[in-house]
Amino acid sequence: MRSPQLLRRGASLVEFAVVAPVFFLIVLGLIEIGRACMVTELLTEAARHACRQGVIEGTSSSAIQSAAANYLSSVGINSESINVYVNDAPAGSTNVSAMPAYTEITVVVTVPIADVAWTPIKFVTGNLAGQYTMRRE
């Protein structure tokens, strides 16, 4: 006859085997959601840095793009995977230096989720983005 203590241990092991994968999946999901929120804030800050660069008179689009890339590389985000948009157009195709004073400049910085995720998530696709708008001086 088996002892009741041994049966309780076996039941605990079975319960742990059922609950542990779900628990760890929830914990990893919370970590990834926190990381996505953090990266979104970093992208918004990069857009703010780039926008502050862009509102100065005579600033080129490449200076705006490099301001965003420099900020993101300083916080550990690979600058080769970022896209910078000024007023809904890629930064290289917009002539920001020719815009008149007091026009609004909107800078949007995007990065693919797969490039900033800590876990190998294959079922989530898309981009994270940060946006900032300022008026030219």
The whole-model pTM stands at: 0.82
Q: What SS3 string covers 96-127?
A: HHHCCCCCEEEEEEEEEHHHHCCCCCCCCCCE
pLDDT for the residue 22: 95
Q: Over the stretch 40-82, which tens digit does the pLDDT of each residue have? A: 999 999 999 999 998 888 888 888 889 999 999 999 888 776 7
Q: How far is CA 85 from CA 81, 95, 111, in A?
A: 13, 12, 12
Q: CA nearest 70: which of 34, 95, 45, 87?
A: 45
